[in-house]
Amino acid sequence: MKNITIAIDGHSSCGKSTMAKQLARELGYIYVDTGAMYRTVTLYALRQGFFDEASSLNEAALRADIEGGKVQVGFVLNPTTRLPEPSLNGEVVEAYIRGIDVSSRVSIIAALPFVRAALTLQQQKMGEEGGIVMDGRDIGTVVFPHAELKVFVTARAEVRAQRRYDELLAKGQPAAYDDILKNVRERDYLDSHRAVAPLKQADDALLLDNSDLTREEQSQWLLQKAREAMAE
Ligand code: DC
C-alpha cells in the first residue's frame, strides 16, 4: 500500500476534523487541521488588539508581523491524546481558538492573500512525504491539487449549528443556538465567495453529505475509500 495524500474539504462544523483525525489514526498517518492554523492567526490578531470594536482589522500591522516572522504557527503532539495541537509562538492554544470570538473573525483572516500564502506553503511542506490527512477548505483545490483522495464534506446548516452548539456546551462554553446558526451561514457565504482560494468542491472530489449518517457509517465509508485509493 502506498503512502498517499488525503484532502478533506467542506463546510464548517460538519465534522471534518473528527473524521479526518480518526482516519489518520486508523491509517497511522499524520493529521493536519488547517482551520486551526487560520484560527491561530486570528487569535494572534485578537491578542495584539489588531481588531477594533467594530471587528475591523489593522491589516498592515498583521502583515508586518507575519512577514517579520513574529507569528509562528505550528503543531505540538499532545502526549496523552497523541494528537497534534496548534501552537502560537510555542504556546499550545487549542483551548483558545474554538470560541465565538475567534470563530466570528476567522473568515476575515482567512480571506487575506498574505495569510493564505504563508499557511499554504507551510501546509505543502508538511505534506511533502505523503502519509497525511489534511482537512480544510482548499486542500484538494489549492494546497494538494494532485492528492490521491479528495473528499468534499457537507451537511445541512441546522445540523451543523446543532453539532457546534453541543460541542461548545460540552466544553463549558455555552452560546446561543441562533447565534451559532447565523455564524455557520455567514461563514459558508464568506468561505465560498472570497476572492482567494474560495471553498468549492474539486472536480475529482467525492461528495459526502453526512446530515443523516451516523459517525460509524461515515467512518466506514471513508476508510473504504482510503483503502481503495491506497491500493491503486
Ligand atoms: O474548519 P474551521 O471551522 O476550523 O476553519 C476555520 C476558518 O478557516 C473557516 O472560516 C475557513 C477558514 N479556512 C480556510 O479558509 N482554509 C482552510 N484550508 C481551512 C480553514
CATH number (domain holding residue 147): 3.40.50.300
**Atom 14 in ligand 1: which residue has the minimum CA distance?**
137
Domain membership of residue 195 (yes or no) is yes
Per-residue pLDDT, 147: 97
Task: Answer yes or no: is the C-beta of 94 below 6 A from any ligand 1 atom.
Answer: no
- Cα–Cα distance list, 142 to 21, 56, 75, 192 (Å): 21, 27, 21, 14
Average pLDDT of the residues in 192-211: 94
Domain membership of residue 223 (yes or no) is yes
pTM above 0.85, yes or no: yes
Per-residue pLDDT, 27: 96
Classify residue 69 by its DSSP letter: T
CA 158 – ligand 1 centroid, Å: 19
**Tens digit of pLDDT for each residue in 202-217?**
999 999 999 999 999 9
CA 34 – ligand 1 centroid, Å: 7
The domain containing residue 160 runs over which residues? 5-227
Domain membership of residue 112 (yes or no) is yes
The answer to whether 89 touches 72, Cβ cutoff 8 Å, is yes
Per-residue pLDDT, 221: 96
Classify residue 95 by its DSSP letter: G
CA 1 – ligand 1 centroid, Å: 31
Question: Residues in the chain, how many?
Answer: 232
pLDDT band at 97 (very low <50, low <70, confident <90, very high): very high
Rg (CA), the chain: 17
Domain membership of residue 232 (yes or no) is no
The answer to whether 50 touches 58, Cβ cutoff 8 Å, is yes
pLDDT above 80 for 1: no
Domain membership of residue 180 (yes or no) is yes
Strands (E), the chain: 5-10, 30-33, 73-77, 84-88, 91-92, 132-136, 149-154, 206-209
Grid cell in block for residue 4: 498517499
Task: Answer yes or no: is the C-beta of 34 below 6 A from any ligand 1 atom.
Answer: yes
Number of separate domains in the chain: 1
pLDDT above 90 for 116: yes
Closest CA to 124 of 45, 44, 37, 205: 37
Grid cell in block for residue 50: 489588531
Closest CA to 28 of 4, 52, 53, 61: 4
Per-residue pLDDT, 57: 97
**Atom 1 in ligand 1: which residue has the minimum CA distance?**
35
**Tens digit of pLDDT for each residue in 28-86?**
999 999 999 999 999 999 999 999 999 899 999 999 999 999 999 999 999 998 889 99
Query: What is the side-by-side strand order in the sheet with 84-88?
Result: 73-77, 84-88, 91-92
Q: What are phi and psi of 174, to 5 degrees?
A: -60, 145
Classify residue 57 by its DSSP letter: B
Q: Which residues have CB under 8 Å from 97's CB, separation 6+?
A: 36, 39, 40, 42, 43, 86
pLDDT above 90 for 167: no
Domain membership of residue 213 (yes or no) is yes
